[in-house]
Amino acid sequence: MNPAVKVINQAVALTVVTEGETCSRCRREAVLVQRYSGRALCREHLIRDIESRANRAVRRQGGLRPDDRVAVPAGAGPARTALLAFLERRRGAERMRVCALPEDGAEDPLATAAGLGCTVLIEDTVLEDVGSRVLRCVLAGRQVELLSPPEDGAVRRIRPFCDVPGAEVRLYASFLSGIPDATLPVPADLAGAELARHAADHPSAPFALARLADALAAIGTEGRDEC
């Protein structure tokens, strides 16, 4: 790799920064280059790009209503910081009420959210999480889990950043919160490590796995509706 190129996410190299690169949209200084799209983006256009994808994901997963009471995961980390920043920027046009799940509610977040009177559980899942889950199910011979339709019940589950690489979510969190960004952890499980290795040469691989997950979930939903 050219020494002038800095890998932003060492775990899954989907995003790099090249010194002297300019934004593909406005010609200002770029903060990153998306290897999977070939686009260079400045700070402003990266924020717009991430929020556009996040809003599409929200609509695809059922949307948010003004009277929703939203639960967010407990804990810390760049993805959760980004999630809170994203929700805060949406709340200017929506009267959403946001509450954090307690630490002891992590094992069954949907039930915990329902107990708090929430109508939506918003999770800080990023693209690599989705791809790793698909690989994990395939490697373990549990492909049938990917056919599971969305949960029925009073609480809807929404993952705004499911189409956004973790490195970009981390930068988004840093830009909007002012907290310095930190290196994302190297995947600890076999599926995550394999995805990272493959994505280094094929940056679109996590996106393909995410689309596969959507397609299989749709098949599961159709099967349920036919019963």
- Residues 6 or more apart whose Cβ sits within 8 Å of residue 195: 12, 128, 131, 132, 135, 187, 205, 206, 209
Q: What long-range pairs does 31-37 form, CB within 8 A, spacing at least 24? A: 31/171, 32/8, 32/167, 32/168, 32/171, 34/168, 35/203, 36/165, 36/203, 36/204, 36/207
Q: What is the pLDDT of residue 66?
A: 82
Residue 85 in contact with residue 176, Cβ under 8 Å? yes
CA distance 49 to 45: 6
Q: Report the half-sphere exposure of 202 (CA within 13 A, side-chain side).
A: 9
pLDDT in tens, the chain (227 residues): 333 333 334 334 466 666 778 999 998 999 888 988 989 999 999 999 999 999 999 999 989 888 889 999 887 788 888 998 999 888 755 667 888 888 776 778 888 999 999 999 999 999 988 988 888 887 777 877 777 655 556 899 999 999 999 889 989 998 998 876 655 454 556 677 778 777 778 888 888 888 888 887 777 555 444 44
CA distance 111 to 23: 44
Would you mind telling me the total number of residues written for the chain in this entry? 227
Q: What is the pLDDT of residue 2?
A: 35
CA distance 131 to 204: 11
DSSP characters for 90-127? HTTTS--EEEEPPGGGSSSHHHHHHHTT-SEEE----H
Q: Give the strands of the sheet with 5-7, arranged side by side.
A: 5-7, 15-18, 32-34, 40-41
Residue 25 in contact with residue 41, Cβ under 8 Å? yes
pTM (two decimals): 0.80
Q: Give the strands of the sheet with 97-100, arranged side by side.
A: 97-100, 69-72, 120-122, 156-158
Q: What is the pLDDT of residue 92?
A: 57
Residue 170 in contact with residue 77, Cβ under 8 Å? no
Q: Domains of the chain by range and CATH?
A: 5-226 (3.40.50.620)
- Per-residue buried b or exposed e for 115-130, using 16+ beta carbons within 10 Å of the residue's own CB: ebebbbbbbbbbbbbb
Residue 68 in contact with residue 156, Cβ under 8 Å? no
Q: Judging by beta carbons within 10 Å of its beta carbon (0-12, 13-18, 19+), is residue 95 exposed, middle or buried? A: exposed
